[in-house]
Amino acid sequence: MRPSAAGMVLLIFLDLVSTFNAGCQEDDDIVNPIILGIRGHYGFIIPHSRAIAEISNSDPWGIEADLSWHLMRERIWKHCYCYPRTGFSLSYFNFDNPEIMGHSVAIYPYIEPFVRPQNKLSFSFRFGIGPAIVTKIYDAETNPDNFFFSDHLSFVVVLNAAINYRLNNRVNTRVAFNYNHISNGGLKEPNVGMNFPTLNAGFDYSFTEVRFPVRVKDTMRVLYTDKCWFDAYLLGTVKNAEKGEDQGYPVIGAGIYYNFLVGRIFALNAGTEWISDYSVKEKIRRLYSNNPEDAPDHNRAAFLVGLNLLFGRFSFIHQWGIYYYEPHPARNRAYQRYGLNFRFTESLYFGINIKSHGHVADLMDARLGIIF
């Protein structure tokens, strides 16, 4: 499940690159520039749990290299009236505590819309998710203080806001703020995960001169003819019941939510989902081993509200949930979801989603959905 989930995200972005580079007949002469970026990071760790408070007093630093395409074609521009980049980033981070936390190496695909990149000064916003390797993990005997990570294979989620200054048609400098999260998505305990904001600075170099086409906004053009629609989905993953265990338990679920388009590429949504987490069932079985007749149900159900950012075949989703059925209480009654969906037909999509209680990831799931 873990490698296939990461692979799915990589395949999505490979399809994105190939689709965008295919282009349309009306602008076949436009070439999407290939750009190499280098930058350095420096930040701090958020002590979001008592379990990691004592070892959070460190200053992570890192280096990062990007390879991206700046998407110039008109059909992409019409979605957001912006020129986005998409590509892959390779990063290395030193967590300033080699004995306990060690280092990480991650590669993640991303998409990054740019606002007014034709100007000297521009702004951009990045979302990325992908696999990460961490060198130090929890071990009850040799590393009992590292509640951040319990598996060498984890996942990184990156949100980024950047200020860019273009020196010429090939070189761009930038200063940015990153919010980085690394965890195994709840697949193995302990899974407190690490949240570490960083400031970063660097430059981008284009192998060809970057010249942005001048286009006029057509505010009457309709991108999505349906103003309202439903999403229904099935989800699945695996989780451990307790820290240090290797046994995985299935997690299955289903949900439905209603979408209402409120802008060109922005939609609000509301719905409900049900989750049957068999790792929770196993915890309940152990807690009530002496009186199993009193054991509560392990199933949970919640209301969801959120928003979608629509970008062609892609949907970036952020939802807030609150349980209305939880016989066995979760870490928090409220939770958040962050996800990326890819629509491979008019009605069917698949995606990767992270569910977290506050700053602590509960699970990462793969999902298959239908739009109607």
Within-domain flag for 216: no
**125 phi and psi, to 5 degrees?**
-140, 130
CATH at 45: 2.40.160.20
Domain boundary among 174, 206, 238: 206
Domain check: are 86 and 27 in the same one? yes
Asked if 132 contacts 175 with a C-beta cutoff of 8 angstroms, the reply is no
Structurally, how many domains does the chain consist of? 2
Domain check: are 25 and 139 in the same one? yes
Neighbours of 74 (CB within 10 A): 13
Asked if 251 contacts 281 with a C-beta cutoff of 8 angstroms, the reply is no
Within-domain flag for 219: no
pLDDT at 360 over 80: no
- What pLDDT was estimated at residue 17? 52
Domain check: are 132 and 267 in the same one? no
* CA dihedral for 317, 318, 324, 325, sign (positive or negative): positive
Interval 330-335 mean pLDDT: 90
What would you report as the CA-atom Rg of the chain, rounded to the nearest whole angstrom?
22
Domain check: are 15 and 160 in the same one? yes
pLDDT at 183 over 70: yes
Domain check: are 197 and 66 in the same one? yes
pLDDT tens digit string along 130-148?
899 999 999 888 998 888 8
| Helix/strand/coil (H/E/C) assignment for every residue in 203-227 | EEEECCCCCCCCCCCCCCCCCCCCC
Q: What is the pTM of this model?
A: 0.74
Interval 195-204 mean pLDDT: 96
Domain check: are 144 and 262 in the same one? no
Interval 178-187 mean pLDDT: 84
- What pLDDT was estimated at residue 11? 47
Within-domain flag for 218: no
223 pLDDT band, cuts 50/70/90, is: low
- What pLDDT was estimated at residue 280? 93
pLDDT tens digit string along 39-71?
999 999 988 777 787 788 899 999 999 999 998
Domain check: are 8 and 146 in the same one? yes
What beta strand segments (E) does 217-290 contain? 228-239, 249-261, 266-277
Which segment of 198-207, 227-236, 238-247, 303-312 scores lowest on mean pLDDT?
238-247
CATH at 285: 2.40.160
Within-domain flag for 222: no
Q: Please, what is the average pLDDT of the chain?
A: 86
Domain check: are 79 and 183 in the same one? yes
pLDDT tens digit string along 256-309?
999 999 987 889 999 999 999 999 999 999 999 999 899 999 999 999 999 998
| CB-count burial class (<10 Å; 0-12, 13-18, 19+) for 99 | exposed
**Whole-angstrom distance between the N-terminal and C-terminal Cα of the chain?**
28
Domain check: are 182 and 235 in the same one? no
- Rounded Cα gap, residues 86 and 258, in angstroms: 29
In which domain, by residue range, is 271 found?
228-371
Domain check: are 196 and 293 in the same one? no
Domain check: are 111 and 236 in the same one? no
Helix (H, G, I), strand (E, B) or coil at 291: coil
Within-domain flag for 215: no
